[in-house]
Amino acid sequence: MSKARIFSAEYKAQIVMELLREENTLSEVGAKTDISAKQLCNWKHEFIKNAYRAFSVTKDEKAANMVARAAQEREQELMAKIGQLTYECDWLKKKYEGHISDRKKGYARQQ
């Protein structure tokens, strides 16, 4: 028994767009992609049935997109700040360790 294949939404859309261009028949596309004609027909009907969604972005979706974009920008700012602080912390540790080793050398000379 074979495993069910899972196709990405992008791949399905690409195949359906090829069907809608009508450059090849349903059977030709099915043979080329090794997908049954019935499955391709189902994808095409689902694509056409939900085509209106491409033009109907609700206010909630717009708000959610704006919040997501703002959060992504904030995350980038914070990551840059973390990088800067890590660099500064490492630099200070290096300077401190050098200072401590110099003091130990001086203490050993005095004895």
CA distance 11 to 1: 24
Structure tokens, 7: 């196709």
- Every domain of the chain and the residues it spans: 1-56, 58-111
Residue whose token pair is 């050993």: 108
Q: Which candidate, 15, 72, 56, 20, places its Cα nearest to that of 39?
A: 15
**DSSP assigned state of 8:** -
Reported confidence tier of residue 93, pLDDT bands at 50, 70, 90: very high
User: For residue 87, is pLDDT > 60?
Assistant: yes
Q: Are 11 and 4 in contact (CB under 8 A)?
A: no
Phi-psi region at 39: left, alpha or beta (left = phi > 0; alpha = psi -120 to 50)? alpha
Please list the alpha-helical segments (H only) found in 1-111: 9-21, 26-33, 37-49, 59-110
Largest interatomic CA distance in the chain: 94
- Does this model's pTM top 0.75? My answer is no
Give the per-residue pLDDT at 10: 92
- pLDDT-derived band at 55 (thresholds 50, 70, 90) equals confident
Which of 23-32, 56-65, 99-108 ranks highest by mean pLDDT?
23-32
